[in-house]
Amino acid sequence: MKAKLICALSLVLVLSAATSGLAQWTQRGPAGELSKAEASRLINAINQVEADVFSRTHAYVSLEKLPMARVAATQKALSASELASGALKDHKLRVIASADGSHYLLAIVPVPSGCGFSMFSDETANIYEAPQLDCADEH
């Protein structure tokens, strides 16, 4: 009886640890942390693709319509499917075009929100970095 109880408790602990690990993987993504250098390269690549799309169609596009194969060709660390989903390691990618296609906003923000860098850009191709927030508990 005692052996069965210990076995059952061990099983519960293993399952809870596995569930906790899976939850953290889903929040942060499969590959750890996104570096500022990776984020900057990605923003530059997306800005270039947006400029190319605009030169052909006279309209910027949102993430769903962005040709991710072209963006991924410059990003060895991130696949086209990762980019299209917007899940970038521990960050989220958002690309939103205005209704008339004359503007777009690109954001790379930490997931879950809080401690971590954020980067933004738009059709001007300037890159803005937001400082880390809510980091007192983690550092």
Do 90 and 101 lie in one domain? The reply is yes
For the chain, the average pLDDT equals 78
Q: What is the mean pLDDT of residues 92-107?
A: 96
| 8 A C-beta contact, residue 37 and residue 43 | no
Structural domain range at position 22? 1-30
**Does residue 139 lie in a domain region?**
no
**Does residue 135 lie in a domain region?**
no
Place of tokens 């596009």: 61
Do 55 and 106 lie in one domain? The reply is yes
For residue 115, pLDDT beyond 80: no
**Does residue 69 lie in a domain region?**
yes
| pLDDT tens-place string over residues 36-87 | 999 999 999 999 999 999 999 999 999 999 998 888 887 777 788 888 889 8
Gap between the Cα atoms of 106 and 97, Å rounded: 9
For residue 127, pLDDT beyond 90: yes
**Does residue 99 lie in a domain region?**
yes
For residue 139, pLDDT beyond 70: no
Do 1 and 13 lie in one domain? The reply is yes
Q: What is the pLDDT of residue 14?
A: 39
Do 64 and 24 lie in one domain? The reply is no
Do 16 and 68 lie in one domain? The reply is no
Name the domain count of the chain: 2
Gap between the Cα atoms of 6 and 11, Å rounded: 9
Do 85 and 115 lie in one domain? The reply is yes
Do 84 and 125 lie in one domain? The reply is yes
Gap between the Cα atoms of 71 and 55, Å rounded: 16
Do 118 and 81 lie in one domain? The reply is yes
